[in-house]
Amino acid sequence: MTEVTLGIDIGGTNSVIGLVNKEGGILAQTKVSTGDFPEVPDYVDAVCAAIDGLMDQAGDVELKGIGIGAPNGNYYNGTIEYAPNLVWDGIVPLVELFGARYPVPVVVTNDANAAAMGEMIYGGAKGMKNFIVLTLGTGLGSGIVVNGDVVYGHTGFAGEIGHTIVEPFGRDCGCGREGCLENYVSATGIIRTIQEIFADRRDDSTLRQLPQSELTSKAIAEAALDGDDLAIEAFERTAETLALSIVNSVAFSSPQAIFLFGGLANAGDLIFEPTRKHVNDMIQNIFENTFEILPSGLKESDAAVLGASALAWNELDK
């Protein structure tokens, strides 16, 4: 009998659900459309039916725990609380709902914290006790690990590096404030940066020919690889802001590594090289050469389910 945990990654559109063994092998995996279930009990029914299907499919397995990664997931309360991108309003008591169906520990946290746990249990942070994961997608999520545990803080909402203010009175943010990091360093942030550069510079660029809808972080990366000066400058400015944030995070919690994950991190050297250069220029001497800036050790398509399942393994180890 193989021991497994179940990882559920709840996104605005889909929830991905997978059975994972201790080595990080995904034994079975499926999807449920989150958006199709505006009523939470219906959603839970659909997910439980999917789980039962996965258990049958996987065969001789024993379910040990359930981990859930979700926007605004609160570890202490076992809830999703006021998630702007989900169909459910208010507070959703996920741990209670799934705990009533399966007699195993159920844990919930936000997706970036789950990513950090996945990195620690299956990825590049194996054996590390102090590290940070930055997920550079539409926004910027972060999971901070100190002494081998995700930092949840007093409220359960700690680890919001994407909402540290790097530019007072700067770019407006979905959180209602201005100047938060994620408006500069993310897939959408770099699009705003290239538009700023279009205003600052008169140089020609192939990107100027694109309709707004095609001006993506991927298009900017491709232009940069083709030697487009403005696109290269967009990565340079992004890296400089990211480096400042990394330097300040190191002063705070002195991690052994910072992992970059998601859309913008896939640009590889375009983002890693200037980031490392600026970090080297800005780092305080006592922290020189004490940490690395690394790509995630997880395959992007598996990372969400692995992170959620890692949450459950970690809880069982406590």
Q: Closest separation between CB of residue 34 and a copy of itself, Å? A: 21
Instruction: Based on the shown chain and the rule CB under 8 A, indicate whether residue 235 belongs to the binding site for a copy of itself.
Output: no
Q: Is 176 in the site for a copy of itself (CB under 8 A)?
A: yes
Q: Does 70 bind a copy of itself (CB under 8 A)?
A: no
The answer to whether 253 contacts a copy of itself (rule: CB under 8 A) is: yes
Q: Which of 1, 23, 60, 147 binds a copy of itself (CB under 8 A)?
A: 147
Beta bridge partners, 135, equal 141, 261
Q: In whole angstroms, how close is the CB of 272 to a copy of itself at the nearest point?
A: 20
Amino acid at 190: I
Closest CB 3 distance from a copy of itself, rounded Å: 27
Collapsing DSSP to helix, strand or coil, 7 comes out as strand
Tell me, residue by residue from 80 to 109, as one string, x for binding to a copy of itself by CB under 8 A and - for no binding. -x----------------------------
Q: Structure tokens of 257?
A: 């590594």
| Cβ at position 45, least distance to a copy of itself in Å | 29
Q: How many CB atoms lie within 10 A of CB 210?
A: 15
Decide: is 282 part of the binding site for a copy of itself (CB under 8 A). yes
Q: For residue 219, which of 181, 185, 195, 191 has the smallest C-alpha distance? A: 191
Using CA atoms, how far apart are residues 163 and 159, in angstroms rounded to an integer?
9
Largest CA-CA distance found in the chain, in angstroms, rounded: 66
Q: Is 177 in the site for a copy of itself (CB under 8 A)?
A: yes
Rounded least distance, CB 176 to a copy of itself, Å: 7
The least distance separating a copy of itself from the CB of residue 93, rounded to whole angstroms, comes to 18
Which of 44, 87, 225, 244 binds a copy of itself (CB under 8 A)? It is 244
The C-alpha atoms of residue 198 and residue 185 are separated, in whole angstroms, by 18
**Structural Rg of the chain based on CA atoms:** 20
Q: Does 307 bind a copy of itself (CB under 8 A)?
A: no
Span between the terminal Cα atoms of the chain, in Å: 23
Q: 271: number of CA atoms within 13 Å, CB side? A: 26
195 touches 187 (CB < 8 A): no
The site for a copy of itself (CB under 8 A) is made up of 72, 81, 128-130, 144, 146-147, 149, 151-161, 163-165, 168, 175-177, 244, 247-249, 251-256, 282, 284-287, 290-291
